[in-house]
């Protein structure tokens, strides 16, 4: 396994995926360790509201509905290494672009 890259040294990426910011990655890593938003805020010296804003942003980018799904996507796409204790960032920052689901877009008029 490769040594994780420092947050300022993200691996180059040429994909069409969405990318997480360094701060989002910090929040994701701390939350992957089982901490709450309040605990993550203390560790990262942020407000809880800022942590929650980063979580909301990541969930939107990933197209998921909750933190569990967010972590599952991050692990599946090798953004977070859960085999490490505590969980580590792998150096990747990209998640697949969310797919549109039926009924998720605006309703179209039938013209009748």
- As given in the structure block, the two tokens for residue 93 are 């920052």
* φ, ψ of residue 37 in degrees (nearest 5): -60, -40
Q: CA–CA separation, 84 vs 96, rounded Å? A: 23
- Whether the upstream peptide bond of residue 86 has omega within 30° of 0, thus cis, is yes
pLDDT at 105: 46
Q: Are 88 and 4 in contact (CB under 8 A)?
A: yes
Given a cut of 70, the residues of the chain with pLDDT beneath it are 1-16, 99-112
Q: What is the CATH number of the domain that holds 33?
A: 1.10.10.10
Residue 61: inside a domain:
yes
The answer to pTM > 0.85 is: no
Whole-number pLDDT of residue 101? 55
CA atoms in the 13 A half-sphere facing the CB of 96: 10
In a domain, 63, yes or no: yes
């Amino acid at each position: 396994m490769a040594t994780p890259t420092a947050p300022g040294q993200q691996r180059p990426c040429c994909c069409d995926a969405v990318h997480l910011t360094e701060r989002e990655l910090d929040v994701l890593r701390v939350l992957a360790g089982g901490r709450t938003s309040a605990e993550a805020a203390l560790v990262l010296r942020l407000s809880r509201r800022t942590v929650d804003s980063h979580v909301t942003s990541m969930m939107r980018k990933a197209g998921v509905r909750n933190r569990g799904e967010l972590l599952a996507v991050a692990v599946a796409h090798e953004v977070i290494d859960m085999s490490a204790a505590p969980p580590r960032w792998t150096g990747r920052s990209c998640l697949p672009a969310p797919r549109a689901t039926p009924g998720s877009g605006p309703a179209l008029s039938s013209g009748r």
